[in-house]
C-alpha cells in the first residue's frame, strides 16, 4: 500500500487522459443517475420504467425491480459521492482524489461485470452484440478498468 501513496507530498496535475476519463465517466453515468433518481422518486411509474427498462416494458419479476432499486440507492449513497468527490480531487491535483476516484472505478467494474452477465439474456438478444458490449454494459466496464489502471499508475509516480 505504501507504493500507492508514495507521492503524498506531491500534486498530480491532470493530463489530457485525466480530462478524457473524467468527461467520459460523467457522460456515461449522467443518464444512469437520471434514471436512478426517477426510480427512487417514483419507483412504479410508467415514465420510470420507460427510462430504466425500455419504453412500454415491465419489470421481469420482483427481483429485477428490487435489484434495480437497490443499485439506485447504493449508487446514490456510495458510488456517486466517490465519483464526484474523487473527480474533484483529481482535478485539484490531489492524491486523495485519485484514491477516491480509483475506488469509484473499482465499484463500477465490479457492479457492471455482474450486470454484464446477468442482463445478457434480455438485453443482448434485443439489441445485439455491438450495442450490448458498448453502450449497455461495456462502456462502464471499460471506463472502470482504464480508470483504475490510470489511477494506480499516477499514484505510483508514472507521468503522462
| Domain definitions of the chain by residue range | 16-155
Position 20 scores a pLDDT of: 97
At 160, the pLDDT band (50, 70, 90 cuts) reads confident
Residue 138, exposed/middle/buried by CB under 10 A (0-12, 13-18, 19+)? Answer: middle
Position 97 scores a pLDDT of: 96
At 36, the pLDDT band (50, 70, 90 cuts) reads very high
Distance CA 49, CA 58 (A): 7
Position 142 scores a pLDDT of: 94
Dump pLDDT digits (tens) for 45-83.
999 998 888 888 889 899 989 999 999 999 999 999 999
Q: Is the pLDDT of residue 3 over 70?
A: no
Amino acid at each position: 500500500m505504501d507504493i500507492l501513496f508514495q507521492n503524498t507530498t506531491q500534486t498530480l496535475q491532470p493530463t489530457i487522459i485525466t480530462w478524457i476519463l473524467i468527461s467520459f465517466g460523467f457522460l456515461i453515468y449522467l443518464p444512469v443517475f437520471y434514471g436512478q433518481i426517477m426510480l427512487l422518486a417514483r419507483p412504479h411509474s410508467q415514465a420510470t420504467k420507460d427510462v430504466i427498462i425500455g419504453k412500454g416494458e415491465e419489470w421481469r419479476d420482483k427481483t429485477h425491480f428490487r435489484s434495480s432499486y437497490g443499485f439506485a440507492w447504493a449508487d446514490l449513497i456510495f458510488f456517486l459521492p466517490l465519483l464526484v468527490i474523487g473527480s474533484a480531487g483529481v482535478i485539484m491535483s490531489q492524491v486523495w482524489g485519485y484514491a477516491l476516484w480509483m475506488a469509484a472505478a473499482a465499484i463500477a467494474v465490479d457492479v457492471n461485470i455482474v450486470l454484464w452477465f446477468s442482463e445478457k439474456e434480455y438485453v443482448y438478444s434485443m439489441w445485439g452484440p455491438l450495442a450490448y458490449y458498448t453502450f449497455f454494459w461495456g462502456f462502464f466496464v471499460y471506463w472502470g478498468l482504464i480508470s483504475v489502471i490510470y489511477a494506480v499508475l499516477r499514484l505510483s509516480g508514472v507521468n503522462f
